[in-house]
Amino acid sequence: MGDLIAITDHNLFDERNKAKQSAKPIVGEFNKSRIHSYGPNSFKLHRLPVPVRGDIVGLVGPRSIGKTTALKILAGELTPNLGRFNDPPLDWLTIRTHLHDKHLRRFLAQVVNHKLKVVFKPQQVPQDYMGLAVGEILRKVDDRKDLRALILCFLDLKTPSVKFHHLDIRAQHRVTLAAALLQDADVYIFDDISSFLDMRQRFMVAQLIRSLKTAKSYVIVVDNDLSVIDYVSDYMYIMYGEPEAYGVFSEQYFDVETGIEFYLRGFDPIEDNLIRGDPLIFERDFFISAPNEKHLEPDPEPLIGRRYSYPHMTTNHLKHKMKVEGGNLHDCQIHLVLGDQGTGKSTFIKLLAGFLPPDGVEPWCPEYLKSYKPKKISFIRACTVRAALETRCFHHRFVSDVIEPLQIDRLMGRKLTSLSPGERQRVAITFCLMKDAHVYLIDEPSLDLDSDMRIRVALAIRKHILRIQRAAVVVENDFLMAAYLADKVILVEPSIDTASCLPRDIARPVSGFSVSSPCDRVAGFNLLLEKLNITFRQVPDSSRLTPRVNKAGSMEDKTQKLNGNFYYNLA
């Protein structure tokens, strides 16, 4: 079988896992900085971020590393036990004397003594909203009446009479965000703002959060979309550690540009600590060179330059008609599908996959092998991940390019039906990529993944597509991940202009949706960002392909808009 290996080669994973153990973050001795523990041999949180009055502080780090625990403490909803779970401190005075920063001590004293009004948007939707109508929820917190119409429009909330529990999870999340944004407070804390939002909504919400910033306010934000953190934050803290075991906040905050740089590089030179064992960075030549290794037997057809043409198509599967402009998919290229929520991005990718028939014509090219990863993931089989993978053999590079970065090797003994949403997503992406196909169709791979894993997934998809020299179509709402992935851009848009935020436009009917043919990545991003009124830059004097969002009204933002360069590319 040559370079092909089977998943039963367990020693390969054991040896590589042992090698990785030496690259864990250097934690040192943190007993004096322990803030909270959930019990013996349970998760422990070390240090707390210090809110900055008059500025917005972002927190970034992997999932299950203590960000939500820290937010609950800062909101006054959780009393820290300083690691003394059997003998917790009985008063906040004892707790405050343990804290390392005088500004943090003063802030928590004001929160606990109710001298600061705190608005906390939690990660999970509040259960006390269940049974209430949307309008009733929002009327109770309607302090910012001048922005009410704008907020409701940005978040697409048109049905005030509907009960909260009758909404889907996406709409519930938007109502929870609106309820926080409509309140006047001294402290605003947002846990996970971008989940279930499309790209337009994410940056609209980020703009609204920045509008909360005053000389006296505190604003703290957690999110897994690094572009959103980049846009909304003035400063940021980095978290590192071992998920579900311990989490450590950086000892000091960084300006957001420096913080994201350290986070992506995986190393904090200030504290001389590893954030992770490897950097999460694309080099410039990653978009140019395409290694000619294959994980399959050689194809008699020449792969370089092969294209797959799909025809003009229409479908009435949605409430409105969708028109698809025909186009070409090319080997060694990832074709990124961008558009607002509800415009039919998933419908388009299902048309290509053959799961939905187009109107009046045959499904697209059944002779092409296609591998499809849907947006919603569910597994029926009760077998383990290892057993599911044992049915396939693959190139050894698939292990280093996909299985290890997505940490599938850690899930081998788990049953498919027991996986968390994020774990299911990683396994589904792996299953999709390991199939022999001409075209890979991947719907929203970032869903339920933390910021680390999103970039790992983007790297894995790109490496794999370049190595096997096949085509891919990907739907994505995380801009950084989208920029890492895209060679070409496909735009899905409403047939009428629904971008206006005047109240009269909220109820305007949509006549249909249109899907463009693939266009150049820079031109496609430029068209999208112009409609969002957001600009991105790339750091000069760097080979890294990490786009950075410009703050609204900054010199870079004004200059790029003046020149019509909403997505500035040095290449």
Residues 313, 256 share a domain: no
Cα distances from 247 to residues 55, 240, 453, in angstroms, run 24, 6, 17
Counting the structural domains of the chain, the total is: 2
Confirm whether 208 is domain-assigned. no
Residue 488 belongs to what H/E stretch? strand 488-494
Mean pLDDT score, 215-233: 96
Q: What's residue 11's pLDDT? A: 47
The tens digit of pLDDT for each residue in 40-85 reads: 889 999 999 999 999 999 999 999 999 999 999 999 999 999 988 8
In order, the DSSP letters of 293-327 are: --SSSPPSS--TT-EEEE--EEE--SSSEEEE--E
CA–CA–CA angle 424, 430, 436 (5° rounding): 140
Q: How many CB atoms lie within 10 A of CB 390?
A: 14
Confirm whether 461 is domain-assigned. yes
Is the model more confident about 360 or about 344? Answer: 344
CA–CA gap between residue 258 and residue 36 (Å, rounded): 28
Confirm whether 125 is domain-assigned. no
528, 499 Cβ separation under 8 angstroms? no
Residues 383, 242 share a domain: no
Confirm whether 52 is domain-assigned. yes
Confirm whether 22 is domain-assigned. no
Q: For position 454, which CATH number holds?
A: 3.40.50.300
Mean pLDDT score, 151-163: 83
Please state whether beta strands 34-37 and 44-46 pair in parallel, antiparallel, or not at all (unpaired): antiparallel
Confirm whether 543 is domain-assigned. no
The tens digit of pLDDT for each residue in 366-415 reads: 667 899 999 989 888 889 999 998 877 667 789 999 999 999 999 999 99
In order, the DSSP letters of 236-264 are: EEEEEEETTTEEEE-SS-EEHHHHHHHHH
Is the model more confident about 534 or about 290? Answer: 534
Residues 248, 289 share a domain: no
Residues 291, 243 share a domain: no
Q: How many CB atoms lie within 10 A of CB 288?
A: 9
CA–CA gap between residue 291 and residue 278 (Å, rounded): 22
Confirm whether 424 is domain-assigned. yes
Residues 269, 289 share a domain: no
DSSP secondary structure code for residue 383 in this structure:
S
**Chain-centroid distance, C-alpha 244:** 20
The tens digit of pLDDT for each residue in 27-39 reads: 445 666 899 999 8
The tens digit of pLDDT for each residue in 516-571 reads: 999 999 999 999 999 999 999 987 654 456 788 999 999 999 999 999 999 986 44
Residues 419, 479 share a domain: yes
Residues 396, 264 share a domain: no
CA–CA gap between residue 211 and residue 182 (Å, rounded): 11
Mean pLDDT score, 126-140: 90
**What is the domain range of residue 312?**
284-295+308-532
Residues 486, 369 share a domain: yes
Mean pLDDT score, 282-309: 51
Residues 259, 366 share a domain: no
Closest CA to 410 of 461, 453, 458, 454: 453
Closest CA to 172 of 210, 137, 209, 211: 137
Q: Is 357 left (phi over 0), alpha (psi -120 to 50) or beta?
A: beta
Q: What's residue 494's pLDDT? A: 87
Residues 291, 428 share a domain: yes
Residues 228, 288 share a domain: no
Residues 313, 251 share a domain: no
Query: Per the structure block, which two tokens stand in for 362?
Result: 């045959």
Q: What's residue 22's pLDDT? A: 42
Confirm whether 146 is domain-assigned. no
CA–CA gap between residue 487 and residue 472 (Å, rounded): 10
**Chain-centroid distance, C-alpha 448:** 8
Mean pLDDT score, 427-443: 95
* Residue 260 C-beta-side C-alpha neighbours within 13 Å: 27
Task: Please state, for a pLDDT cut of 70, what percent of the chain lies above it.
Answer: 85
Amino acid at 182: L
